[in-house]
Structure 1
């Protein structure tokens, strides 16, 4: 492996580390901003929903 290939490998690994760190930092911030803390409301099926059974 020559010197140029080593530099490319190191730069690629640094890029992967920075991408992973950015993903871990953004994920909790995105989850906090989206309002996950609210309770979900469950509703019944719509009146227009019909099940057709065939034999």
Structure 2
């Protein structure tokens, strides 16, 4: 597996984990997410932005 593909799959897994956490913990902050899921603050913020965009229908 290429390194780029591995990063893509890891990002997809993180996004799914963040989406699940956000659905179970409405109103959580990116900082809480990062702590709960052992992600960096940047990873959590990127995922939150993407998911909120999806949920807004953009």
Q: TM-score, normalised by structure 2?
A: 0.44
> Which gives a bigger RCO, structure 1 or 2 (Cα 8 Å, sep 6+)?
2
More helix by share: 2
Bigger-Rg structure (1/2) = 1
